[in-house]
Amino acid sequence: MHDLAVQLFGKCRVFRDGKVVGHLPPGKTQGLFCFLLIHRSRIHSRATLASLHWGNTSTVQSRKYLRTTLWQLRTALKEPEQGGLLLIEPDSVRINPAVSFSLDVEEFEQAYLTSKQLSGQALSQMQLELLRKAADLYRSDLLEGCYQDWCLHERERLQNMYLLVLDKLLASCEKHGNCEQGWSYGARILQYDPACERTHQRLMRLYYGAGDRAGAVRQYERCVTALKQELGVEPSRQTLELYEQICADKPQNNSNFNGPVPSPESGFPCASELFVRLKKMRQTLSSLQRQIKEDIRTLDKALDSGESRKASRLARRFSA
């Protein structure tokens, strides 16, 4: 067990000997720390970091912000002058390769890679355990509240991995008749992608296999509703055939319903994945728009206040 542990899924937290270390200021401070950890094998020039995180300011100002943020990070992490997690040089910054620590994102990625090329039905017991651990590590999306471009890209990449991990675990549960765990994994997939038809199909089979035909029918109805609301389409022929077999109490070989598992490297995501991606982009844009409007209101108030004070000074001057 490492003395130092870092969590980047959900809220950024740092632990030393099992206790939370300090408080990392939100915003750019957490964003910079997360960026360095995600790209922990690289050496980053100060100029590149300053431009990436404060590109809307002058070069002099962005470098000043970088120095201040690095100081805040070292203070919050209670870093020693030498041998700390951050290796800060006059012209570069990186994660110190000599420091041993655990990182939830790294553990998640390593677990995912152990079964990247395998279907859920072909997983060994050890691979299943690693994927279960990976699913537990993913507490929430990467660094909640950060909307920088690099973070949005990494968040989507890791989220796609997470959905594939859940899909494989759900497929394994279906194969072994592990209904309760399967329902849990399926529900987590549908939280991100309500119109994932393959997940609805698997849950229908799990319900039927557990002797709950009514539950299988209700799952089909939820599938129909989600497809209509999210994509404006009807269920596929495969889903309809599965539903009819369940209603007739005569399910046939289910192999026809188990399509290939897509990979995050594939250039052709399914329609529901595209929709979810666009929906999340719209939510992100809405959040940014709200923040911009709030900043404009704050600026307007400050300007109004300044003009009022100026007008008062002029009035006193001319009345004297």
Biggest alpha carbon–alpha carbon distance for the chain: 98
* Neighbour-count burial for 177-196, b at 16+ CB within 10 Å, e otherwise: ebbeebbebbebbbebbbbb
Query: So what's the pLDDT on residue 26?
Result: 85
Answer whether residue 305 is part of any domain.
Answer: no
Query: So what's the pLDDT on residue 116?
Result: 87
Same domain, 15 and 90: yes
More confident residue, 17 or 199: 199
Query: So what's the pLDDT on residue 260?
Result: 40
Beta-carbon contacts of residue 38 (< 8 Å; ≥ 6 apart): 8, 105, 154
Query: So what's the pLDDT on residue 261?
Result: 41
Q: What pTM, to 2 d.p., does this model score?
A: 0.77
Same domain, 187 and 201: no
For residue 113, the enclosing domain spans 103-192
Mean pLDDT of all residues in 53-58: 91
Query: So what's the pLDDT on residue 78?
Result: 87
Token readout for 219 is 């799952």
Answer whether residue 288 is part of any domain.
Answer: no
Per-residue pLDDT tens over the stretch 156-167: 999 999 999 999
CA distance 297 to 305: 12
Cα-to-chain-centroid distance, residue 35: 14
Token readout for 56 is 């809307």
- Select from 172, 192, 212 the last residue of a domain: 192
CA distance 54 to 70: 13
- Mean pLDDT lowest among 156-165, 167-176, 240-249, 252-261: 252-261
pLDDT surpasses 50 at 139: yes
CA distance 244 to 131: 33
CATH of the domain at 83: 1.10.10.10
Answer whether residue 45 is part of any domain.
Answer: yes
Same domain, 9 and 69: yes
Query: So what's the pLDDT on residue 313?
Result: 53
pLDDT surpasses 70 at 276: no
The mean pLDDT value of the chain amounts to: 84
pLDDT surpasses 80 at 146: yes
Answer whether residue 297 is part of any domain.
Answer: no
* H or E element that contains 138: none
Answer whether residue 217 is part of any domain.
Answer: yes
Mean pLDDT of all residues in 180-199: 96
Token readout for 307 is 């003009």
- Mean pLDDT lowest among 7-16, 23-32, 188-197, 279-288: 279-288
Query: So what's the pLDDT on residue 263?
Result: 42
CA distance 222 to 143: 31
Same domain, 9 and 87: yes
What domain count does the chain have? Answer: 3
More confident residue, 192 or 302: 192
Place 80 in a pLDDT band, splitting at 50, 70 and 90: confident
Mean pLDDT of all residues in 197-205: 96
Q: Percent of the chain at pLDDT above 90?
A: 63
Same domain, 125 and 183: yes
pLDDT surpasses 90 at 303: no
Same domain, 188 and 198: no
User: What are the helix (H) ranges across the chain?
Assistant: 28-38, 46-53, 59-76, 104-113, 125-137, 149-176, 179-192, 197-209, 213-231, 237-247, 271-319
- In sequence order, the β-bridge partners of residue 92 are 45
Side-chain-facing half-sphere of 316: CA atoms under 13 Å: 6
In the block, tokens 């549960």 appear at 173
Same domain, 136 and 207: no
Same domain, 111 and 171: yes
- Select from 100, 126, 152 the last residue of a domain: 100
Place 305 in a pLDDT band, splitting at 50, 70 and 90: low
Answer whether residue 170 is part of any domain.
Answer: yes
CB-based burial of residue 263 (10 Å sphere; 0-12 exposed, 13-18 middle, 19+ buried)? Answer: exposed
Place 24 in a pLDDT band, splitting at 50, 70 and 90: confident
Side-chain-facing half-sphere of 62: CA atoms under 13 Å: 15
CA distance 186 to 194: 10
Answer whether residue 144 is part of any domain.
Answer: yes
Q: Is 52 helix (H, G, I), strand (E, B) or coil?
A: helix
CA distance 272 to 278: 10
Same domain, 18 and 91: yes
Same domain, 141 and 173: yes
Answer whether residue 109 is part of any domain.
Answer: yes
Same domain, 73 and 118: no
Sheet holding 92-95, edge to edge: 44-45, 92-95, 86-88
pLDDT surpasses 90 at 71: yes
Place 266 in a pLDDT band, splitting at 50, 70 and 90: very low
Contact assessment for residue 137 and residue 9, using Cβ atoms and an 8 Å cutoff: yes
CA distance 289 to 278: 16
Query: So what's the pLDDT on residue 220?
Result: 97
- In sequence order, the β-bridge partners of residue 103 are 6
Same domain, 136 and 91: no
Per-residue pLDDT tens over the stretch 204-216: 999 999 999 999 9
Beta-carbon contacts of residue 103 (< 8 Å; ≥ 6 apart): 5, 6, 8, 37, 40
Place 284 in a pLDDT band, splitting at 50, 70 and 90: low
Per-residue pLDDT tens over the stretch 87-127: 999 999 999 999 999 999 999 999 999 988 888 888 889 99
